[in-house]
Amino acid sequence: MNFDFLSGINALGGGVLGYLIPFLFVLTLVVFFHELGHFVVARRCGVRVLVFSIGFGPELFGFNDRHGTRWKLSAVPLGGYVKFFGDENAASVPDAAALAAMTDEERRHSFVHQSVARRAAVVVAGPVTFQGSDPELAIPVASVDHEPPLSRESSTSTAVTPR
């Protein structure tokens, strides 16, 4: 007896759930790794991460890690977000009063007080891959597999002569 998993799901849901459940599963994986890129680079740049959320709306499940980041799964599984310290509203416009009230220690971990290079690295970390362990030395590259160019010292040329 041969049982096809997707056909089984399709039979259970009358067709719609057979497409919706796998779609939401794949979307959740893509969103998780996209947001994880922002999270990892932000942490390496010294930015404090307040929330890592998969989904929007009311929280279904969550926990706090040892760094104070709230990891949560929310009710509407159509995206996600990472909220940084100092990035207080949805438009990422800093509140002047909140910025003025920050201590020097808080400014060191605030997203808006980072250098332009660090903020850019955090922003592009989701959609692109990066190389290296130091975020300021990271080279953003498209997700394309390619060979690095040869240096002049290591390249050799061979002349081919026809017979």
Instruction: Give the active site residues.
Output: 35
Amino acid at 8: G
With beta carbons less than 8 A apart as the criterion, state whether 33 and 47 touch.
no
Amino acid at 84: F
If we measure between CA atoms, which residue out of 29, 40, 37, 22 comes closest to residue 125?
37
Spatial CB neighbours of 145, under 8 Å, sequence gap ≥ 6: none
